[in-house]
């Protein structure tokens, strides 16, 4: 047995430990980079998230798998650490110490932002699909659903009986959206007034993608995370509810 | 005990997820409606109660705070396990649809911020 094999054996067997160690190193590197090179203008967590996405791209290219870096067996623990279970646990923990009033104040605009977010994403997605030559209501609604989130898209497509090719496009649109929200949010935060709990709740409701909102707000200001996450968590449910019903009927009458 | 805090946090998440899933079943959707959000509200309510009755001890707090503090590392791990390669190989329809919906929704943030502000001002009067 050579040294590399032994190393791999240990790293794979203790995959979650490996993940915490590797992610810790990545974050240390990003924060050092942020302090030294970017002069603190680009937040350390934003750099870390960008690096994570870069790793994910490499992982996908090397393995052809669907889970980014975690498809490499040595890094499979990263998939567990960054999966829905730990993500949701950490998101809920961020609510600790938050005052209830803050949520109550944003109640109305929170609901409004959810509805606006779902409808606008569906219609923008459907309009783009239309521009690219899709004409049937099922494909238009499914791709529109993908522009909402990568869960709403396939759920809508499944309910309407869309083709596998359209479903794949829909998932890809949702992935692009989530990556864009993660990377662009810290840069546009100033322009869109994303600096208080109320606007964070509106932001969460409009964007909807839990991973995008979680990453985007973490890179902007971690104190805003619980507010954005709160509304975003209702988005996928609302999207799956309205997509194959109200929105499909609307799109069918339009085309 | 630290585990009390972590156990409270995990129990809130489980109850929230169950409620969200049941909500989904009730309206006939195969998705979780607001499970995480409900869990967050539960955690705020439960910990408020514990503070009020003086039963929230520092070790219990740290059992929750740890998970809140590893939020960013977890998000970095999440970013590293996204299907980024497929997203950019999905073709131009997917990229244009994803990007434009993000741009449209970014633009709506200040707009809805204003509408909501008017609404809550009215309620106060």
Reported ipTM: the value is 0.87
With a CB-CB cutoff of 8 Å, which residues 73-102 of chain A face chain B? 75, 78-79, 81-83, 86-100
pLDDT score for A40: 62
B124 pLDDT higher than 80: no
Write out the residue range of the structural domain in which residue A228 sits.
100-254
Looking at residue B116, its pLDDT comes to 57
The whole domain housing B121 covers 83-125
Per-residue pLDDT, B121: 42
pLDDT band at B119 (very low <50, low <70, confident <90, very high): very low
Q: What is the pLDDT of residues B27-40, one digit of tens each?
A: 777 777 888 888 98
Instruction: Provide mean pLDDT across the span A79-106.
Output: 85
The answer on B93 and B51 residing in a single domain is no
Q: In which band, very low, low, confident or very high, does the pLDDT at A148 lie, cut at 50, 70 and 90? A: very high
Residue B122 has pLDDT above 50, yes or no: no
Which residues have CB under 8 Å from B29's CB, separation 6+? A155, A237, A240, A241
Q: Are residues B59 and B69 in the same domain?
A: yes
Q: Cα–Cα–Cα angle for A241, A68, B18, nearest 5°?
A: 35
Question: CA–CA separation, A206 vs A199, rounded Å?
Answer: 10
Chain B residues with CB-CB distance to A206 below 8 A: 105-106, 108-109, 112
CA torsion sign for B73, A99, A88, B6 is: positive
Percent of chain A past pLDDT 70, that is, above it, reads 98
Q: How far is B12 from chain A (nearest CA, A)?
A: 8
- For an interface test with B, the pick among A29, A60, A72, A96 (most B C-beta atoms closer than 10 Å) comes out as A96
pLDDT of A198 strictly over 80: yes
Q: Is A206 on the interface with B (CB under 8 A)?
A: yes
Q: Say whether both B56 and B77 belong to one domain.
A: yes
Check A67 against B100: CB less than 8 A apart: no
Among A66, A113, A184, select the one facing B86 at the smallest CB separation.
A66
Mean pLDDT of A77-82: 94
Task: Note whether B100 contacts A103, CB cutoff 8 Å.
Answer: no
Q: Are residues B37 and B97 both part of a single domain?
A: no
Q: What is the mean pLDDT of residues B92-108?
A: 90
> Is the Cα dihedral A71, A77, A78, A82 positive or negative?
positive
Question: Is there a single domain that holds both residue A115 and residue A208?
Answer: yes
Whether residue B68 sits in one domain with residue B9: yes
A59 and A163 both lie in a single domain: no
For B31, which of A78, A168, A236 is closest by C-beta distance?
A236
Do residues B94 and B114 share a domain? yes
Over range A170-197, report the average pLDDT: 89
* Same domain, yes or no: A118 and A185: yes
Which residues in chain B have their CB less than 8 angstroms from residue A238's CB? 33
Q: Are A76 and A92 in contact (CB under 8 A)?
A: no
For residues A92 and B12, is the Cβ–Cβ distance under 8 A? yes
More confident residue, A196 or B115: A196
Asked whether residue B43 falls in the same domain as residue B103, the answer is no
| Residues on chain A touching B104 (C-beta within 8 angstroms) | 120-121, 124
* The predicted structure's pLDDT at residue B125: 30
Nearest by CB: A184 against B65, B102, B115: B102
Domain total of chain B: 2
- List chain B residues with CB under 8 Å of A124: 97, 100-101, 104
Partner residue opposite B30 with nearest CB, options A57, A155, A176: A155
- Confidence class for position A39, pLDDT limits 50, 70, 90: low
Class of residue A26 by CB neighbours under 10 A (exposed 0-12, middle 13-18, buried 19+): buried
Cβ–Cβ of A109/B112 closer than 8 Å? Answer: yes
Minimal Cβ distance to A61: which of B85, B87, B96: B85
Pair (A231, A168) in one structural domain: yes
Check whether residue A21 and residue A138 sit in a common domain: no
């Amino acid at each position: 047995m050579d040294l590399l094999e032994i190393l791999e054996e240990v790293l794979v067997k203790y995959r979650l430990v490996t993940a915490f160690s590797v992610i810790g190193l990545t974050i240390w590197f990003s924060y050092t980079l942020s302090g030294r090179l970017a002069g603190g203008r680009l937040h350390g967590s934003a750099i870390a998230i960008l690096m994570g996405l870069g790793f994910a791209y490499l992982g996908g290219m090397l393995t052809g798998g669907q889970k980014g870096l975690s498809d490499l067996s040595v890094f499979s623990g990263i998939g567990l650490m960054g999966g829905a279970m730990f993500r949701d646990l950490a998101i809920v923990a961020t609510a600790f110490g938050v005052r209830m009033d803050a949520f109550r104040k944003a109640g109305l605009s929170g609901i409004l932002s959810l509805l606006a977010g779902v409808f606008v994403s569906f219609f923008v997605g459907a309009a783009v699909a239309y521009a690219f030559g899709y004409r049937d209501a099922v494909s238009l609604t499914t791709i529109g659903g993908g522009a909402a989130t990568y869960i709403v898209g396939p759920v809508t497509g499944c309910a309407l009986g869309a083709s596998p090719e359209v479903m794949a496009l829909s998932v890809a649109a949702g992935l692009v959206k989530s990556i864009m929200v993660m990377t662009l949010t810290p840069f546009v935060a100033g322009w869109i007034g994303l600096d208080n709990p109320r606007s964070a709740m509106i932001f969460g409701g409009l964007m909807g993608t839990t991973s995008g909102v979680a990453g985007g707000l973490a890179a902007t200001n971690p104190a805003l995370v619980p507010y954005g996450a709160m509304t975003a968590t209702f988005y996928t449910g609302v999207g799956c509810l309205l997509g194959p019903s109200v929105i499909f009927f609307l799109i069918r009458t339009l085309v | 005990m630290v585990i009390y805090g972590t156990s409270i946090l995990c129990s809130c998440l489980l109850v929230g997820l169950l409620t969200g899933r049941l909500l989904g079943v009730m309206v006939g959707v195969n998705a979780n409606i607001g499970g995480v959000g409900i869990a967050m509200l539960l955690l705020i309510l439960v910990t408020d109660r514990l503070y009020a009755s003086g039963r929230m001890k520092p070790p219990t707090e740290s059992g929750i705070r740890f998970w809140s503090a590893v939020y960013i590392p977890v998000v970095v791990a999440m970013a590293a396990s996204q299907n980024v390669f497929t997203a950019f190989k999905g073709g131009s329809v997917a990229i244009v649809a994803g990007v434009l919906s993000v741009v449209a929704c970014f633009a709506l943030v200040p707009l809805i911020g204003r509408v909501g502000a008017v609404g809550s001002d009215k309620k106060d009067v």
